[in-house]
Amino acid sequence: MLRRPALALAPAAWLLLAGLLRGNEVGAARANKHKPWLEPTYHGIVTENDNTVLLDPPLIALDKDAPLRFAGEICGFKIHGQNVPFDAVVVDKSTGEGQLRSKEKLDCELQKDYTFAIQAYDCGRGPGGSAGAKKSHKATVHIQVNDVNEYAPVFKEKSYQATAVEGRRHESILRVEAVDADCSPQFSQICSYEIVTPNVPFTVDKDGYIKNTEKLKYGKEHQYKLTVTAYDCGKKRAAEDVLVKISVKPACTPGWQGWSDRVEYEPGTGALALFPSLHLETCDEPVVSVQATVELETSHIGKGCDRDTYSEKSLHRLCGAAAGTAELLPSPSGPLNWTVGLPTDNGHDSDQVFEFNGTQAVRVPDGVVSVDPNEPFTVSVWMRHGPFGRRKETILCSSDRTDMNRHHYSLFLHGCRFIFLLRQDPSAEKKYKPAEFHWKLTQVCDEEWHHYVLNVDIPTVTLYVDGVPHEPFSVTEDHPLHPSRIETQLVVGACWQENSGVESDNDTEPLPVASAGGDLHMTQFFRGDLAGLTIRSGKLTDKKVIDCLYTCKEGLDLPVPEDGGRGVKIQANPSQSVLTLEGEDVGEVEKALQHVAYLNSRQFPTPGIRRLRLTSVVRCGNEAACVAVPPVDGSVVVLQPEEPKISLSGVHHFARAASEFESSEGVFLFPELRIISTITREVEPDGEGDEDPTVQESLVSEEIVHDLDTCQVTVEGEELNPEQESLEVDAARLQPKGMEVSHSDLGVTFTGVDSMASYEEALRLLRYRNWHSRSLLDRKFKLICSELNGRYVSNEFQVEVNVIHTANPVEHASHMAAQPQFVHPEHRSFVDLSGHNLANPHPFAVVPSTATVVIVVCVSFLVFMIILGVFRIRAAHQRAVRDQDAGKENEMDWDDSALTITVNPMETYEDQRSEEEEEEEEEEESEDGEEEDDVTSAESESSEEEEGEHGDPRTGNRQQQLEWDDSTLSY
């Protein structure tokens, strides 16, 4: 009775309980009505060696839903930002307290502060805070990383040096400076310096300035060595102390300072400053002006300085002179060999200088030069006169060859006078005309090199000495010469005259010279050195050409400085060997002198020492010279230039048909000529190879471009026969290049300064012709090129040309057995011509071509295959015949009961032996088939036909070997 009501109430109770629970949930949802709240801004501090951030104000998130569970609790914080090395954790959910911590070790030196946003969220409806959680606004957090004094001060220099003048108390001698890598001002600043070395007369302040505490004495100590340390504001000492060297300078002495007595010049590097750190010590004197003179001594280099050593004719052409220059003292080579007996100065880098000692002279061959007194002409010469003498010394003289002693024109010296004589032609008008011109010059007697140019245009003669014109101080007139048929003799270094008893104005004892035609003598010998003696007829040399011929390729250079040189007057001599600078401001004069440079524009300068001297005059007030500045002596050392290696390459050996040699065009000797020049440089190894003795320097070859001045093609063996052969070149195509071509029986010579490419093109145009080539088998030529008058010489490039002769073919049974005609014995063996150039080969050429060799090999291989097939067919045929004979013997059915048959016992042995021999022959013929090159396919077919007609002879022999013993037969 009591249980039924309980059962009836149970459903209602459950419904009531569900409604209560649902109501609680709705109430909880309605209770989380507020978002957590944070301060808008936080400021924090964290130390490098700590990970906890101290925030101001503390990190606390508030929620108005408190004290409700979940809704009023803070479940976490979220940080917004990229690469933020911090995490925010909740310390107490109910109070909302949190804490910031660094996720990694912080470094103030890398980043001093951080800024990011942070946001708090509550727990919502559950402990995880994911369901219904609400977030606060984003607060800004600024965190500063505090520095730790982890770095020690470090000095900027490894050591310091300074100079202090004795007898003075200096405010500051030098400054040492250290730095600290810490990030904070407290630990990164250097607060003090300290001299560790005891008992030294120096002190250092907090800024690092060192000064002396007493007057220094040079006699007591030449140099002081101090050890200095530094401290940062955290009292941390420098990791390493620094060494300071203070040299004591003696009492002030006026003079130039900061110069080097030896300056090395690398060829091809342009201008080199001689005094980049020059300073004038005036010892505080009131200087009002300074005059400085820089002198470069080059008289011992070449002809007074470094110049191009090309031939004089080439130099005239380079300077723009007109054509027609004749050299009277050329370098001895080929037909220009009349100077071969003169001693030369070989110590001046291929600069052709001839020495005359007062007993030597040379006769110039006829036809080298022709002078017409009625036409203008120019005489040019480099001369260094010997010791002073009062006798006449002749440089150049044209006089009667026989009978008389008349001088037609001559150039001679008498004391310090420079004299030129020119007698008018007999055909001229019979009246007095200027004939002898005198100049009195100090340059004639100073024993130095000078350049003399005479522009002769009667009645005017102008003399240029080192580019400066000089007028004659005395001119003597004379009648024209009397007419005669006597030929003249041109002599350099003396005068040609006959010893006929006639009084002569010569004071020198004549010396006999062995010659046909009588007792002839040389007189008025020259003593000294001559070079570049030339005569050019028909036109005078203008001033620009004269200046170009004299201008040095080396000298002093003074580019205008951008930051100095104001108010400085600069003067230079024509050869740029002396520079004079003058100014009132000492500093401006110093800046100008610091830009004075040595320049050598030659690609391959003459190596050696050039003396250098700097003299000065310093004026104070109205005094002439208040400060005595001693001169400065030094030297410029021009290093040896990299020697170029001129290489000639191309086709060394080729063959051409005889008809090509006989054609009007001929055969080009150097169709593929290539001229290159290389230098070899030493390249130091990378790293610290100098300390390792096992590491060697490597050589690198580098191609360069420069000019050539001579290329000589000579024939080897017999000289050229002008009646049947010649070397030819199109002169019209060479004229724009400025080259000249001279021919002789020995070959051809190309002269003139031009590029290697131009010489390549010119030499490729050289042709060889031979209009009687029937007896010619080959011809050999040699090519050599040079630069700077033979200073650099190429390799010998040899070319051999073979002549291909042709003839009508001769009938032979087999064309393989035919021998070519006109075969020289040395060509009977096979010659490999893989490197030769065969143009238009003929069927019966002496030298077989590559195609012919390939055809012969292919035909031989084909013949071998045919022979091998024929022998295989024969072997098969023989086996078939034996099998047929054996079958016939088996068919014979004899009644041999009464027969007595005698069988040859050798039959079986011979049959076996013949079969073995056949097999051995087949094997031997298969192995030796390659040697059967003479057998043709026609011969193979004929052998097969013969076999078909006659059959196998061994089969017949075997049948004949059967013998019947018929003595017992009865018929």
| Model pLDDT, residue 56 | 86
Specify the higher pLDDT residue, 265 or 730.
265
φ/ψ region of 669 (left if φ > 0, alpha if ψ in -120 to 50, else beta) reads alpha
Residues recorded for the chain: 971
Question: Does residue 813 surpass a pLDDT of 80?
Answer: no
Q: What is the DSSP string of 111-128?
A: -SEEEEEEEEEE-TTSTT
Question: 472, 463 in Cβ contact below 8 A?
Answer: yes
Instruction: Report the SS3 class of residue 408.
Output: strand
| Model pLDDT, residue 698 | 66
Tokens of 57: 């104000």
| Model pLDDT, residue 739 | 82
Q: What is the pLDDT of residues 585-618, one digit of tens each?
A: 888 999 999 999 999 998 888 899 999 999 999 8
Q: Global pTM?
A: 0.54
φ/ψ region of 736 (left if φ > 0, alpha if ψ in -120 to 50, else beta) reads alpha
Q: What is the pLDDT of residues 285-303, one digit of tens each?
A: 888 889 999 999 988 887 8
Mean pLDDT of all residues in 449-476: 91
State the average pLDDT for the chain. Answer: 77
Question: Does residue 25 surpass a pLDDT of 50?
Answer: no
Peptide bond between residue 459 and the one before it cis (omega within 30 degrees of 0): yes
Specify the higher pLDDT residue, 290 or 970.
290
Tokens of 569: 């007057």
Tell me which range, 283-287, 624-628, 757-761, 854-858, is most confidently predicted by mean pLDDT. 757-761
22-26 CB contacts, 8 Å cutoff, 24+ apart:
none
Specify the higher pLDDT residue, 418 or 35.
418
Question: Does residue 570 surpass a pLDDT of 50?
Answer: yes
Nearest-5° angle of CA 575, CA 576, CA 579? 135
Q: Which residue in the block uniquely carries the two structure tokens 């055969």?
A: 667
Specify the higher pLDDT residue, 703 or 886.
703
Kindly indicate the confidence band of residue 131, based on its pLDDT and cuts at 50, 70 and 90: low
| Model pLDDT, residue 694 | 54
Strands 159-165 and 242-249: parallel
Task: Count Cα atoms within 13 angstroms, Cβ side, for 273.
Answer: 15
- The CA distances from residue 598 to 257, 296, 306, 438, in Å, are 19, 9, 12, 38
| Model pLDDT, residue 517 | 31
- The CA distances from residue 227 to 160, 202, 215, 542, 653, in Å, are 10, 11, 20, 71, 78
Specify the higher pLDDT residue, 580 or 814.
580
Mean pLDDT of all residues in 758-768: 91
| Model pLDDT, residue 97 | 86
Question: 558, 593 in Cβ contact below 8 A?
Answer: no
Mean pLDDT of all residues in 181-200: 88
Peptide bond between residue 365 and the one before it cis (omega within 30 degrees of 0): no
CA distance 509 to 306: 38
CA distance 743 to 754: 19
- The CA distances from residue 812 to 183, 545, 651, 824, 930, in Å, are 107, 75, 37, 21, 23
Question: Does residue 673 surpass a pLDDT of 90?
Answer: yes
Q: What is the pLDDT of residues 30-60, one digit of tens each?
A: 567 788 888 889 998 888 877 888 888 888 8
Question: Does residue 889 surpass a pLDDT of 50?
Answer: no
| Model pLDDT, residue 564 | 52
- Out of 163-177, 298-312, 448-462, which region has the weakest mean confidence (pLDDT)? 298-312
Question: Does residue 558 surpass a pLDDT of 60?
Answer: yes
Give Cα 313 distance to the centre of its chain: 30
Kindly indicate the confidence band of residue 651, based on its pLDDT and cuts at 50, 70 and 90: very high
909's CB contacts (< 8 A; 6+ apart) are none
Q: What is the pLDDT of residues 890-932, one digit of tens each?
A: 444 444 444 444 444 444 444 554 454 555 555 444 444 444 4
CA distance 21 to 678: 104
Question: 807, 658 in Cβ contact below 8 A?
Answer: no
Residue 156: closest CA among 235, 230, 237: 230
